[in-house]
Amino acid sequence: MSKTFVTKAKQMLHGGDYNPDQWLDYPEILADDIKLMKLSHTNTFSVGIFAWSTLEPEEGVYHFEWLDKIIDDIHGIGGNVILATPSGARPAWMSQKYPEVLRVNASRVKQLHGARHNHCFTSPVYREKTQQMNRLLAERYGNHPALIMWHISNEYGGACHCDLCQDAFRTWLKEKYNHNLKALNDAWWGPFWSHTFTDWSQIESPSPIGESKVHGHNLDWRRFVTDQTIDFYKNEIVPIRELTPDIPITTNFMGDTPDLIPFQGLDYSKFAKHIDVISWDAYPAWHNDWETTADLAMKVAFIDDLYRSLKGQPFLLMESTPSLVNWHKVNKAKRPGMHLLSSMQMVAHGSDSILYFQWRKSRGSSEKFHGAVVDHDNSSENRVFKDVAEVGRTLEKLSEVAGTNRSAEVAFLYDWDNHWALQDAQGFSNETKRYAQTMHQHYRAFWENDIPVDVITKEHDFSSYKLLVVPMLYLASEDLISRFKDFVKNGGTLVMTYISGLVNESDLTYLGGWPHELQEIFGMKPLETDTLYPADRNRVSYNGKSYELKDYATTLDVAEAKVEATYEEDYYANTPAVTSHTYGAGKTYYIGGRLEDDFQRDFYEGVMKELEIHPVADVKHERGVSVQVRQAPECDYIFVMNFTEDEQHVHFESQVTDVITGETLHGDVTFEKYEVRVVEKSK
């Protein structure tokens, strides 16, 4: 994390999105806000996120006085400000005067002014206007003692298909393919459906009224959208970097709901390189009716581990809700105890903040019933406000945790290119490919066993890990495969599954079948993948037990590999389903079918035992309790969290101190429903 950030805010940040621009006609409300901030034990507020029409109500006419007062008032109570740039939603006068800033959709229809995030990232006018506004903000507030961070725009996403973006896409393609149109046609398999281009001007972005089935084309468009969004962001921050070089910069990443998988609109592995601190907006559907609380907690943990691993440092929870949202299919309130528990889980996996959307509920429009710290009753006595204050008091006792990290011997490789390409693939089953969800199925075994995991991307160095897990890596370049080979040869253990290594970085299949280097390190090759109907089932025998298989089963041609498990039914009964192979100083495993959770548990527990991978805390418990650790130089901070609806008995093998209550704990301790404790153990 940024050195400046740590020295200016050596504490856990607590607060959230504050929109005083909605309340300028209500000075009594603004005065109450300051009083309530102190009562709620909050200390940090993101301001100005959607304030452009208030900051600049007419072109060239600026009103900063209200923002001056807000920032001064927050500073007056010892609070911090994360100052946002307002480009997420522009004023109506700009859309009217400069229609080029309006986004064009994939059907080539120009959008009307309204909503948010509907601007063209290529528009020179919009780039000029955002940079102009950001320069004024940096000049005015860059030296304010309350400012600890810049929040650039808000939840970047979406694509524009206007003429400006078409030209930018063609320029991007020319640079990627070195102005060689044949190279592009080769990568996109141009002769298919007579889609060979003879001039760059013939290329358009994918569209439902044009072409959308050329997979290399689709993949390059998604890559372009990421790069163009980053380029827009880089234009936004020019004056901020120039005028406030010591103030760290973030922009809020997202997670797709309800399955809670990484946001698919942009490749965050690329975006992460250009920001100082990762932050993300998390809105899990707690208490839903399709999964257990522990299952949902596991999914939250996976994204936390991904966003922490992108930069190998603590992240920030930029948005969350203290109770409910207004946009889930069912907007259910958090039950007593869940707000503290879910907040502590974020901290346990690496967050240095609990920030909310929103500080105060809006009076009108679509977010007036979205959860907030301050409800329409303006009271500090309701349940949600008291829950927030409890989190605030807890975070105040965890100030020494801020800036600490966690180490891992296990890594999962997650790849946005792979996700896009696999979703595009017209094969297998559209309903059951579920790449990120498959990652969850394998990750669960480590989460349940309290094994720290880094969720890394293909740009990361693999060498520090004992175990690398790469489920459903459909798209794998020759370079990545070569790096896998080096990882295993040098002593690493690699686990791969069905539907892996089938296409290269252009989404072209490998001629001759499975790549030779993969065959070499796995000692076998997959032959064909059987896609099963939802009602179909098979079984696999492994270590004397039988496990259910569904969705996918790959038949294997074994050369030198050891057969670890076999299929029980169908035409491939008694043939290999899971193999292992020693290669160099390392080892590989290939799992040919989608197997039930108990298989993952048993299989990975065996791998962990073989590799001597152990929990970092000596705390014993039943399934549904999670134990996570953040490591400081002189002690470990151990978070013990009961994600069940039942009383749980937890056993502390060694003596620890409860950071919140000061109690000494040793031996058996009873945890109530949703209870969480943070304990400290000296090294």
Q: Supply the residues annotated as catalytic.
A: 155, 319
**Inter-residue contact 487 to 494 (CB < 8 Å):** yes
**Which residues is 469 bridged to in the sheet?**
412, 495
Core vs surface per residue 99-132: b (16+ CB within 10 A) or e: ebbbbbbbebeebebeeeebbbbbbebbbebbbe
Strands 593-595 and 524-531: unpaired
SS3 118: coil
Burial of 86: CB neighbours in 10 Å, binned 0-12, 13-18, 19+: buried
**Helix or strand (DSSP H, E) at 607:** helix 597-611
Q: How many helices (H) and strands (E) does the chain have?
A: 19, 27
- A 10 A CB-CB count for 199 gives 8
Strand arrangement, sheet containing 252-256 = 261-262, 252-256, 279-281, 316-319
Q: Phi, psi at residue 557, to the nearest 5°? A: -105, 105
- Written in H, E and C, the secondary structure of 72-98 is HHHHHCCCEEEEECCCCCCCHHHHHHC
Query: From its phi and psi, is residue 462 left (phi > 0), alpha (psi between -120 and 50) or beta?
Result: alpha
Contact 356, 370 (CB under 8 A): no
Distance CA 149, CA 83 (A): 6
Helix 163-176 to helix 215-236 angle (10° resolution) is: 110
CA angle, 410 as apex, 271 and 472 as ends, to 5°? 65
637-639-642 Cα angle (round to 5) = 170
Residue 288: alpha-carbon gap to chain centroid: 21
Q: Measured in Å, how far apart are the chain's first and last C-alpha atoms?
A: 24
What is the rounded CA–CA span in Å between residue 406 and residue 398? 16
Pair of tokens at residue 441? 């199925």
Question: From CA 653, how far away is CA 650, in angstroms rounded?
Answer: 10
The residues with which 83 forms a beta bridge, in sequence order, are: 47, 150
User: Where do we find the tokens 């169908």?
Assistant: 570
Handedness of CA 270, 273, 275, 278 (dihedral sign): positive
- Reference 273, options 237, 310, 242; nearest CA is 310
Q: How far apart are CA 517 and CA 484, in angstroms?
A: 9
Q: Quote helix, strand, coil % in the chain, to nearest 5.
A: 35, 25, 40
Which pairing describes strands 410-413 and 467-470: parallel, antiparallel, or unpaired?
parallel
Residue (of 102, 113, 41) closest to 77 by Cα position: 41
Instruction: Specify the DSSP class assigned to residue 116.
Output: S
**Exposure string over 307-331, b if 16+ CB within 10 A, otherwise e:** bbbbeebbbbbbbbbbbbbeeeeee
Beta bridge partners, 557, equal 525
